[in-house]
């Protein structure tokens, strides 16, 4: 990745981070929240991570190993198969 593109990406990330922090501070002021309130609510518990939501079980799988848990929009691989006439039930993982 060219260094100018990397700098632009880093600048955008820093800008979004600053905007997010401002939004959080605004919401805290709006609702009269303090850091202690968030700590009591468990927002900063050891081991708590927002980075990886709990894994959902696989409901659909194709021969290439693509999977889908059935939540959210249809993934491209499944949409293409259905557009080609395949039934979604063909890909359902049997319990």
Is residue 46, in this structure, part of any structural domain at all?
A: no
pLDDT above 70 covers a percentage of the chain that reads: 85
Count: domains in the chain: 2
Is residue 81, in this structure, part of any structural domain at all?
A: yes
Mean pLDDT of 29-36: 91
Among 9-18, 42-51, 73-82, the range of highest mean pLDDT:
73-82
Is residue 31, in this structure, part of any structural domain at all?
A: yes
* Helix (H) or strand (E) segment spanning residue 29: helix 3-31
Which residue range is the domain that position 17 belongs to? 3-40
Render the burial of 63-92: b for 16+ CB within 10 Å, e for the rest. eeeebbeeeeeeeebbeebeeeeeeeeebe
Is residue 18, in this structure, part of any structural domain at all?
A: yes
Q: Is the pLDDT of residue 38 over 60?
A: yes
Residue 37: the pLDDT is: 86
Residue 45: the pLDDT is: 73
Residue pair 37/29 in contact (Cβ under 8 Å)? The answer is no
**pTM beyond 0.75:** no
Mean pLDDT of 9-31: 90
Is residue 21, in this structure, part of any structural domain at all?
A: yes
Is residue 47, in this structure, part of any structural domain at all?
A: no
Residue pair 50/79 in contact (Cβ under 8 Å)? The answer is no
């Amino acid at each position: 990745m060219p260094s100018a593109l990397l700098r632009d990406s880093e600048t955008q990330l820093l800008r979004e981070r600053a905007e997010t922090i401002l939004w959080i501070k605004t919401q805290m002021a709006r609702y009269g929240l303090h850091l202690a309130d968030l700590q009591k609510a468990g927002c900063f518990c050891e081991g708590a991570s927002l980075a990886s939501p709990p894994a959902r079980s696989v409901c659909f799988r194709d021969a290439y190993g693509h999977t889908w848990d059935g939540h959210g929009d249809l993934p491209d691989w499944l949409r293409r198969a259905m557009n080609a006439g395949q039934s979604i039930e063909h890909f359902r993982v049997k319990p």
